[in-house]
Amino acid sequence: MNSVAPVRTIRLADLSPEERQRLTQRSGAISMDVTSVVRQIVEDVRQKGDEAVREYTERFDGVKLDSLEVPRVEIEAALDSIDQHLAEAMSIAASNIRAFHSAQIHPEPVVETSPGVKVWRVWRPIERVGVYVPGGGARYPSTVLMHAVPASVAGCSEIVLCTPPGPDGKVPEATLAAAALSGVTRVFSIGGAQAIAAMAYGTQTIPPVQKIFGPGNVYVTAAKMLVFGDVDIDKPAGPSELVIIADDTADPRETAADLIAQSEHAPDNASILVTTSESLAEAVLSELTRQLEDLPNRDRVISSFRSNGFILLVEDLAQAVGFVNEYAPEHLQIVTVSPREILEGINNAGSIFLGRYSPVPAGDYAVGSNHVLPTSGSARTFGPLSTEEFGKWVQVQELTQEGLRSISNAVTVMARAENLEGHARAIEVRFSV
């Protein structure tokens, strides 16, 4: 390891307003070249169905598939085939995810807005949803759990999963086991933009879904943006992010380990330490250098640090909170004397982890909270993936005769003010002799 610091240090007080703004801005733009390529793939799948899906799978994945769908017997058998320690770990994670997400949907009260006028909402699931799980060099059974368990809790009758095949043309057993644990109904061994198009429009084999979820590369993201409107989609996912707010009570070893953990996802991730303590900053830099020496994913982490990572020195914790609300990170970890006091000032963050024993990897897998989170500053307006995104609330009204009579004048006056005579007469006809 060379002597160059693995991550730069910045003092917030030294930044101009323009520099501060650049520090918090991230771009989610997709190039016109990528969009053009993906538009052709989407159109081909829309027109030719399975034929196009097979052609693109062979071209991009190097696999010629005899069948696009994984037999149900293979999905069920995967739980017994994988390492049993992994099976047990995924079972614990699935149980915790189910518990947390089950608490998010509950009956709402009937509100009587006026005597005889009742209004309420009822929950209705989306009937068929699609989940995309990336493939390639990384396989993420946890992504299956984080999407499919809430979909199952919501009551979706069909949960369709698409994921790229391996070199042998098969879906990894861990992914299939996660599908079995989480309630996935059908699995297809296809990936990329062609999988998104297939779920959006349907093919001879793959049913069209009503909403598509799941992360992916820039081609997958572009495909989701192109099909949006014909089918609903979740929030497009950008590079992953972590901000740690820490004071001089934080452990440098743990802080460095947390920054490294976040940066090993991908070379464009962002891992940021915001601290009031110069001594902590210096100790973390030393720990980063030491811990990176034997890390298997060292090159990826260093690339991430050099592109998007930094240590930000602030004068006090109020400045730290202000920066976090500007940055709106996907993950926020607070390691201070009183983390809950800091929490009160945080408005913009996808998922917040309080204290030294609440590291982000715990939330990635087994806490029960969802690890599908807003990125690229979208935490200013969006929250984590929830059970509610797999369904919708339907509004219901029930009025008695006297209830309608009590608000009839308000309705007819407002209707006529808007030149909607038919609206007014629809009320009055119920009380005419």
Domain ranges of the chain: 8-25+239-368, 32-109+125-233, 400-431
Mean pLDDT of the 116-132 span: 97
Q: What pLDDT digit, counting tens, does each position of 302-314 carry?
A: 999 998 999 999 9
Choosing from 173, 254, 330, 389, which is the catalytic residue?
330
How far apart are alpha carbons 115 and 228 in whole angstroms?
43
How many angstroms separate the Cα of 211 from the Cα of each of 196, 216, 232, 324, 356? 10, 16, 4, 32, 37
Least confident of 6-15, 319-328, 386-395: 6-15
How far apart are alpha carbons 235 and 224 in whole angstroms?
9
Q: What is the pLDDT of residue 332?
A: 98
Q: What is the pLDDT of residue 2?
A: 43
Name the CATH code of domain 32-109+125-233 (choices 3.30.70.100, 3.10.520.10, 3.40.50.880, 3.40.50.1980): 3.40.50.1980
Residue 330 falls in the annotated catalytic set: yes
The CA-based dihedral angle spanning residues 370, 376, 379, 385, taken in that order and rounded to the nearest 10 degrees: -30
Domains 8-25+239-368 and 32-109+125-233 share a fold: yes
Residue 88 falls in the annotated catalytic set: no
Q: What pLDDT digit, counting tens, does each position of 259-281 carry?
A: 999 999 888 899 999 999 999 99
Mean pLDDT score of the chain: 94
pTM of the model: 0.93
Instruction: Give percent above pLDDT 70 in the chain.
Output: 98
Choosing from 241, 331, 371, 389, which is the catalytic residue?
331
How far apart are alpha carbons 362 and 254 in whole angstroms?
14
Q: What pLDDT digit, counting tens, does each position of 391-414 carry?
A: 999 999 999 999 999 999 999 999
- Pick the more confident residue, 136 or 114: 114
Q: What pLDDT digit, counting tens, does each position of 339-362 carry?
A: 999 999 999 999 999 999 999 999
Q: What is the pLDDT of residue 137?
A: 57
Q: What pLDDT digit, counting tens, does each position of 210-232 carry?
A: 999 999 999 999 999 999 999 99
Least confident of 6-10, 188-192, 283-287, 385-389: 6-10
Residue 4: pLDDT over 60 = no
Residue 420: pLDDT over 90 = yes
Alpha helices in 155-235 (DSSP H): 173-182, 192-201, 218-227
Give the strand pairing for 232-233 and 158-162. Answer: unpaired
Reported as a pLDDT band with limits 50, 70 and 90, residue 1 is very low
Domain boundaries 8-25+239-368, corresponding CATH code? 3.40.50.1980
